[in-house]
Amino acid sequence: MEQIASLNTRLVRALPRAIVGAYALLFSRTRAPVLTNANSNQALTALTSRPPHADDALLRARAMEIRSSERTALLDALVDGVLLVDAHGETRFANAAAVAMLGQRAAIAGTRDAIDALPLQVKRAVAAVVATRSSERRRIECDLKGDSALPVVVVVSRMQSESAASSCEELASVVIRDIRAEREADRMKSDFVAQANHELRTPLTSLRATAELFADGEIVSAEECAQFGQIILEHADRLANIIDNMLDIRRIESGMARAALEEVDFSQLVESCVAEQSAEALRRNTSLTVARSVRTATAQADPTLIRQVVLNLISNALKYTPQGGVVTLEVDTDNLARAIVVSVRDNGPGIPEQSLPRLFGKFYRVESLQKVAKGTGLGLNLCRNVVEAMHGGQIGVDSEVGSGSRFWFAIPMSQAGQQAA
């Protein structure tokens, strides 16, 4: 966690006077009002323009108070919790984030409420850095006490009170960072690796089993050779499709992919995609038509990527629509949102409501529909990345069990081609 260490360094080196001034005010259990830059400048101007016989000590004290309130406001604006404690563990300063993490009593100066709300290993680290007077920073990853068990990273460093230099008073700064987002990212990465391993292993297992039959001479007739050869081709195609989708998603998410923008006629593009899928629709005895298409549906987009999205949505609709079903496409303009909207509607089994929020996630497939059709669970995630990350658009689904589904995406007419983030 280089960022938290960097933050701690800046606090210790750049704000020692401000922190000392702030905790001196807080020690009396009062907090100076937060002043804006304009107000503080006016106050300082007024103070410095007083007659020469004015009390210089009062002016300096007032100036320090103003600056301390500004630094306090700055520390309160940080998302990381910041504590300043003495050798006895008593609080000298706690910013707003620390109070939110440790409780309201953590803000009371001169008490141990803040340090007692931290795990034992943090207390030991505070005692150690103060006792040894070492410049070493100690990093502890732990969970805060309480029902929420908030995961945090704590960095403890030593600093010396300038106002108490004559008595060599030692203090410790404690910076607390909420790492829930990092933990969730790690969990999602682990889930992705596990799911990818499963999805890749399935076709590989089938390929190996079929190859062993050939190697052992158990497949001899031309009919069997053709049958098992087709199985090998299907699993090889599935494996290649998984790898290609994973690589495409990775390139988009990493920012390596760039949209090749040009003026795209969405009506023509959708008509072309329908024509390409007409043979598959005929094979499945499913009606595939364009129900509505406006004439002026053009926007800046990458035609190859948008075509991939449309084909993916049509393919899904055909796979999950029973024979004799109907799949219709619409191309429309949303004048309010200034966007081109493409939708694919089917009269298939529909999607359970609890599955809708996860539908565009990596490798996610609706459990109740897994026997209806095969898939990798990557297609919709790739569609979302293309539409949202590369074109600044939106993608979604409206569905009800037993009534079919409507998948749609919208591409802005202007500034449609945002690059991958």
pLDDT at 168: 59
Helices 56-76, 16-27: inter-axial angle, 10-degree rounding:
100
84: part of which helix (H) or strand (E)?
A: strand 81-86
Mean predicted confidence (pLDDT) in 141-165: 78
**Cβ–Cβ under 8 Å, residues 277 and 288:** yes
Q: Look at residue 343 and give its three-state secondary structure.
A: strand
- Cβ-contact 397, 406 below 8 angstroms: yes
Q: Name the band, by pLDDT with cuts 50, 70 and 90, for residue 266.
A: very high
Of 40, 56, 363, the C-alpha closest to 192 is 363
Q: Please, how many CA atoms are within 13 Å of residue 282, restricted to the half-sphere of its CB?
A: 6
**Res 227 pLDDT > 70:** yes
pLDDT in tens, 361-391: 887 778 767 666 666 678 899 999 999 999 9
Structure tokens, 178: 């909420």
User: What is the pLDDT, as a whole number, of residue 243?
Assistant: 85
pLDDT confidence bin for 418, thresholds 50/70/90: very low
Q: Give the model confidence (pLDDT) of 320-367 as tens digits.
A: 898 899 999 999 998 888 899 999 999 989 999 888 988 898 877 787
Separation between Cα atoms, residue 44 and residue 54, nearest integer Å: 14
Element of type H or E holding 364: none
Which tokens go with 163? 């106002």
Q: What's the pLDDT at 326?
A: 95
Residue 360 neighbours by CB distance under 10 Å? 19
Instruction: Please state, in angstroms and rounded to a whole number, the distance separating the CA atoms of residues 155 and 113.
Output: 19
Q: How many CB atoms lie within 10 A of CB 97?
A: 20
Q: 166 falls in which pLDDT band (50, 70, 90)?
A: very low
C-alpha 230/C-alpha 210 separation (Å) is: 10
* pLDDT computed for residue 52 by the predictor: 52
pTM above 0.75, yes or no: no
Cα distance between residue 131 and residue 238, in whole Å: 63
pLDDT for the residue 282: 92
The number of beta carbons lying within 10 Å of the beta carbon of residue 355 is 17
Q: Which two tokens stand for residue 296?
A: 């002026």
What does the pLDDT look like over 175-203, one tens digit per residue? 999 998 888 878 877 777 777 777 778 78
Residue 33 has pLDDT above 70, yes or no: no
Residue 286: predicted pLDDT: 94
pLDDT at 25: 35
Instruction: Please report the pLDDT score of residue 163 as a whole number.
Output: 52
For helices 37-48 and 56-76, the axis angle rounded to 10 degrees is: 170
Do residues 416 and 387 touch, judged by C-beta distance below 8 A?
A: no
Place of tokens 């899904």: 316
Tokens 């795209």, residue?
264
In 3D space, the residue among 355, 350, 354 whose CA is nearest the CA of residue 400 turns out to be: 350
Residues 188, 192, 195: CA angle, nearest 5 degrees: 135
The mean predicted confidence, pLDDT, of the chain is: 79
Structural domains in the chain, CATH included, are: 2-178 (3.30.450.20), 188-254 (1.10.287.130), 258-421 (3.30.565.10)
Q: Per residue in 60-101, pLDDT tens?
A: 777 777 777 778 788 888 889 999 998 888 998 899 999 989
Contact criterion met (CB below 8 Å) for 180 and 146? no
Instruction: Match 């850095």 to its residue by tokens.
Output: 129
Least reliable range by pLDDT among 110-124, 224-238, 384-398: 224-238
Mean pLDDT of 401-408: 92
pLDDT single digits (tens) 267-311: 999 999 999 999 999 999 999 999 888 877 899 999 999 999 999
pLDDT of residue 246: 82
